[in-house]
Every structure is written in structure tokens, then in C-alpha cells.
Amino acid sequence: MISLRGVSLVYPNGTRALDDVDIEIAKGSFVFLVGHSGTGKSSLLRLLYREQKPTRGEVSVDNVRVDNMRNAKVPELRRNVGVVFQDFKLLQDKTVWENVAFALQVTGARTKDVMRQVPRVLDQVGLAHKARVFPSELSGGEQQRTAIARALVNNPKIMLCDEPTGNLDPVNANEIMDLLHRINLKGTTMVVATHNAQVVDRMRRRVIRLEHGKITADDERGFYHVTDAGETTTTVVAAFK
């Protein structure tokens, strides 16, 4: 579903955000990306929806090379990839309904489909009763649900979440993670970059750890912290440097 081969990313200012990264992510899987601040998690996600091109290496999403994809093809890619951020990125002057519908309308969807899809996803994230409300009148958790609904409304095969619980209290964070998990169980491949140890440890999914742009651990049922059994000492040493 997602594959990175020998991927490096060096920003124009010389920062090496990713350094020879290889990753394979299977269809329908749930993957956490963890690591200290500034180790390249967001950068990696940006490669997957072609916000950024790698300096070196191949990036494929849904069996399509995206690193050398023509610009005109990028919109098509993004309709297949839902993206959710820590800061929600909602439009303040649009209601919940309008924010979600927006993603369909600007891709030229028929009104008939908008009327069918928007209630479906609002229902799925549990916000049907808040459809007419503006983002400023919502809790953080509700705002993130709105953003998830917007990412979901195009029926993406993949969802990328960059610290989706970063602005939420533990209760809301757990609810959002459960929602992402339910979406994943319906078949959407889920990649979540997070600093939320509690959530990672509770869910026990595949955990890919980045340090200084390199993968230092990749565990099928991992924990957030590197001190767990099954991890190499070099990983531990590297992490504590």
C-alpha cells in the first residue's frame, strides 16, 4: 500500500529530515510513527501526500509512484489520502456540515453525493447533532472529529494523521484514537504520527521509530518507549543519547 525505498529528504536550508528510509506498510494496517521532536515524522507524512518530494529514493502510495508524479496528478492522489493535523485546520466561517461538504464540493462532486456522503461521515464520527454548529462552538475533540469527517468524506484508502491528539486531553485523545481505530477496521490504512505514549501503549499496534531521520525500530506490536523487550541495545542507546 505504502512503500518508501532509500528515501532521503534534505530541505533547501540543508536540514536532513530523512536519511535513507525504507518502509513497507500493508493495506489495511494501523501504524504509529514515533520519535523525538524534529526527527522527521511530519516530513515523512508530507512525502506520502506529495506536499514534499524526496531528495532521493522512491515513494509509492497505493502502487503509484508519487515522488516523480506529475503535478496535475497530485489532486487525484490527495482524494485517495485523507490527512488530519494537530491543529484541525477547519474553516472558522463554515459550519461543521459546510467544512465537511467543502472537501467534496471543491473536488467537483455532485450535490446528490454531497447530500448523501456528508451525513454518513458525520454520523460515523458522532457529530450528526452538531452539523449546523461553527468550529468555535465545538470542543477540541469535536473539532478533530470534524477534521476526520472531512478527511473521510472522499472515501480515502489511506489516512495520515499528524499528532491528531496533540491538542486534546487524555479522554478526548482516547476517543479520537478509538474513532481512528474503527475507521481502520473498515479497511482504511492508517498512519499516525504521535507523541502520545499512553495511546500507543494501550493500542499495541505496529510502531515505527524515527531518530534523526533514520528508522531505529519497527515493532509489530510495539510500545511508545524504547525500553521494552525485543528492541536492540543500539536502539536503546541511540534513543538515550
Partner 1 sequence: MDWGKLRFFLNEVRRNFTRNVIMQLTAIGTVTVMIVLLGVFLFGREAVARIGDQVVHQIEISVFLDDKATASDAHDAIIAIRSDPRVESVDYVPKAEGLRRMRERLRNQIDTSLLTSNPLPDALHVRVIDAGTVAAVAAHVRKLPHVADVEYAHDAVERLLRLSDVVGKVGIAILALLIFTAAIIISNTIRLTVYARRREIAIMQLVGASNTYIRLPFICEGLLDGLLGALLALAILALARWQLLPKITTALPFVPADVLHIDPTLLALELLGVGAAVGILASWVSVSRQLRV
- Give the interface with ligand ATP as residue ranges (CB under 6 A): 11, 13, 15, 17, 35, 37-43
Q: In the bound complex, what is the minimum distance in angstroms from residue 49's beta carbon to ligand ATP?
A: 14
When CB distances are held under 5 to 8 angstroms depending on the partner's kind, the choice from ligand ATP, partner 1, Mg ion, none that residue 15 binds is ligand ATP
Contacted by 43, from ligand ATP, partner 1, Mg ion, none: CB < 5 to 8 Å by type: ligand ATP
Strand-pair partners of 8: 56
Q: What are phi and psi of 237, to 5 degrees?
A: -60, -45
Q: Minimum distance between the CB of residue 164 and partner 1, rounded to whole angstroms?
A: 15
Q: Which amino acid is it at 82?
A: G
Give least dist CB 224 to Mg ion, A. 16
Residue 39 interacts with which of ligand ATP, Mg ion, partner 1, none, CB < 5 to 8 Å by class = ligand ATP
Q: Which is nearer to partner 1, 115 or 237 (CB)?
A: 115
Nearest distance in Å: CB 41, Mg ion: 5
Q: Which residues bind partner 1 (CB under 8 A)?
A: 49, 71-72, 74-80, 83, 89, 91, 102-103, 105-108, 110-112, 114, 150-151, 154
d(CA 171, CA 156) in angstroms, rounded, equals 27
Q: Which of 64, 44, 41, 58 is nearest to 4 (CA)?
A: 58
Shortest Å, Cβ 55 to ligand ATP: 12
DSSP helix/strand/coil, 24: strand
Find out whether 82 and 160 touch, Cβ atoms under 8 Å: yes
- Residue 106's binding partner, choosing from Mg ion, partner 1, ligand ATP, none, with beta-carbon cut-off 5 to 8 A by kind? partner 1
What pairs with residue 23 in β-bridges? 4
Contact 199, 177 (CB under 8 A): yes
Binding site partner of 76, from ligand ATP, partner 1, Mg ion, none, Cβ cut-off 5-8 A by kind: partner 1
For 39, 51, 238, the CA distances from 231, given in Å and listed in that order, are 19, 32, 12
107 binds, among ligand ATP, partner 1, Mg ion, none (CB under 5 to 8 A by kind): partner 1
Residues with Cβ within 8 Å of 62's Cβ and at least 6 positions away in sequence, in order, are 1, 2, 80, 157, 158
- Of the two residues 28 and 57, which places its CB atom closer to ligand ATP in the complex? 57
Scan residues 32-71 and list those touching Mg ion (CB under 5 A): 42
- Which alpha helices (DSSP H) does the chain contain, by range? 41-48, 74-79, 96-105, 111-124, 140-152, 170-185, 197-203, 233-240
Radius of gyration of the chain (CA): 18
